[in-house]
Amino acid sequence: MGYAAFLERMGEVNDLLNAKSILNWDARVMMPPGGAETRAKQLATLSVLARDHLVADRTRHLLDEAEAETQGLPPESIERVMCAQVREAIDYHLRIPADLQQRRAELGSIGQDVWAKARAASDFAAFAPILEETVALNREMAEHIGYDAHPYDALMHRFEPGETVATLKPLFQSLRDGLLPLLRRIAEAPPPRIDFLQRPFPKEAQLAFGLKMAAKLGYDLSRGRLDTTVHPFEVSFTRQDVRITTRINENWMPMSLFGCLHEAGHALYEQYADPAFTRTPLATDLIGLYAVNGVSFGAHESQSRLFENHVGRSRAFWEANFGEARAAFPGLLDDIDAEIFWRGVNRVSPGFIRVEADELTYDFHIMLRVDIESALIDGSLRVSELPEAWNAKIREYLGLEVPNDRLGVLQDVHWSSGQIGTFCNYTIGNVMAGQLYGTAVREPSVAAGLAVADYAPLLGWMTGHVHRHGRRHSRDELLVQATGRRLDPAPYVAHLQNKYSEIYGV
């Protein structure tokens, strides 16, 4: 009885957070411009009420009862895992003073405006005071959250529980060692053709083809929908309603296509979670206050990267699906074959902008940000030194001279909303994707399916090893169960080395 009432209470928290997600989706996809100001207030109210509902006396009383009722069960039982996660989340939120939360929310609401103007004017000095305050608030936040070795660890906890500056260091070193020499050799080699990807691909046909390929991977449209937005994303309102968005460039077809596959990868994680977890803590990020089935931001990114890059940019995918691409765009690809297409969509092109980066250079954009963020937080880097530090890393990694701060340190929205600690997720997602994919394809049925555009065996493997479990296990528990190892960059580095050696003949 106590446990059931506790679960229903947590269902309400999940409902509130899903409501918030729906309001966010609507704001980004459907809302007329006039609605922005009052929508922000509605979102703020839902955030506060969800948090208050979670930490309320009533919830804690029900949690006490649920813990008492389930104490005879093994610690790894679903019931006890749920109780433990809720207990941890309540403790987490109660450690952060209300006024600090409030100050951070206020900073976030003014920061985005300041940042947008500073970016437009490429004027770092105009944004620096906001960033100073963001860093100060996050350091304060870190002290309240608590950490063993480095304050940045406390900030990453919300997005990637268990990840630390100490664990990231060797990971990043492996990536640099494995990828920088490859990148140098590629820079000297002749690039594959991409001209045919710049042909005038009609908007509607691009959307239809992207959605068709997403559905082929397993994205279930009876529980989803595709729309267009400026900044594509995936969001779920329980596993029963998981939506994706993409953006379209009529003269650069890979944007919408791989956008669809990327967001579909995220969506699969949500759609194939265990239905029994719906509305429970195992479908709710109670630390980040976000209704999501995926266990960490990195784990979530592993699925988007896996379906976008390991599947969607593989030679096998285009050998099996190029005919469909031709049929989807009559006349536009008649002189191209699967091999040329595959090479084209894998072109490496070092650039300034993270969100436009290719598969091989992407992690360098991430490592630079994580290193800078952690140095800002531990005080070894000052905000005033940031542009120079940024530009030096871009020079070191990509051999480019950043011409202005708009294309450099001012490009990302994250800091303007008061957020520090989330960038590592992208690279962890890449590494996890390589590790999971490398293990999955050793399964004969998975490998056989990939050759004939049957993705059900791969989806089945991912569902069984990842999606189904929702937030029950930690990211590393998942990895050990699925691949026998904790996070390990070797398969990911090998994947990149193999693919790009072949494409660039290096």
> Minimum distance from CB of 279 to a second copy (Å)?
7
- Cβ proximity to a second copy, 33 vs 444, nearer residue: 33
User: What one-letter code names the amino acid at 483?
Assistant: T
> Minimum distance from CB of 38 to a second copy (Å)?
4
> Minimum distance from CB of 247 to a second copy (Å)?
19
| Residue 163 annotated as catalytic | no
Task: Say if strands 242-246 and 224-228 run parallel, antiparallel, or are unpaired.
Answer: parallel
Distance (Å) of CA 131 to CA 99, 246, 369 = 19, 30, 14
Residue of 67, 163, 234, 263 marked catalytic = 263
Q: Where are the beta strands (DSSP E) in 324-425?
A: none
User: In this structure, how many other beta carbons lie within 10 angstroms of the beta carbon of residue 126?
Assistant: 16
d(CA 242, CA 403): 40
d(CA 114, CA 416): 8
| Side-chain-facing half-sphere of 393: CA atoms under 13 Å | 20
| Side-chain-facing half-sphere of 230: CA atoms under 13 Å | 3
> Minimum distance from CB of 37 to a second copy (Å)?
7
Contact status, residue 115 vs residue 127, Cβ threshold 8 Å: yes
- Cβ proximity to a second copy, 19 vs 78, nearer residue: 19
Phi–psi pair at 188, nearest 5 degrees: -90, -15
- Cβ proximity to a second copy, 22 vs 506, nearer residue: 22
d(CA 172, CA 72): 43
Residues that bind a second copy (CB under 8 A): 11-12, 15-16, 18-20, 22-23, 26, 30-39, 41-42, 44-46, 48-49, 53, 220-225, 237-238, 240-241, 243, 278-279
Q: Looking at residue 419, what DSSP letter applies? A: -
| Side-chain-facing half-sphere of 80: CA atoms under 13 Å | 9
- Cβ proximity to a second copy, 43 vs 180, nearer residue: 43
- Cβ proximity to a second copy, 26 vs 106, nearer residue: 26
Give the three-state DSSP class for 352.
Answer: coil
> Minimum distance from CB of 277 to a second copy (Å)?
12
> Minimum distance from CB of 119 to a second copy (Å)?
25
Phi–psi pair at 500, nearest 5 degrees: -75, -30
- Cβ proximity to a second copy, 42 vs 122, nearer residue: 42
> Minimum distance from CB of 89 to a second copy (Å)?
18
Contact status, residue 292 vs residue 283, Cβ threshold 8 Å: yes
What kind and span of H or E run contains 225?
Answer: strand 224-228
- Cβ proximity to a second copy, 241 vs 359, nearer residue: 241
Distance (Å) of CA 349 to CA 190, 228, 353, 369 = 12, 26, 11, 19
d(CA 86, CA 97): 19
d(CA 340, CA 422): 36
Give the residue numbers annotated as catalytic, written as ranges: 263
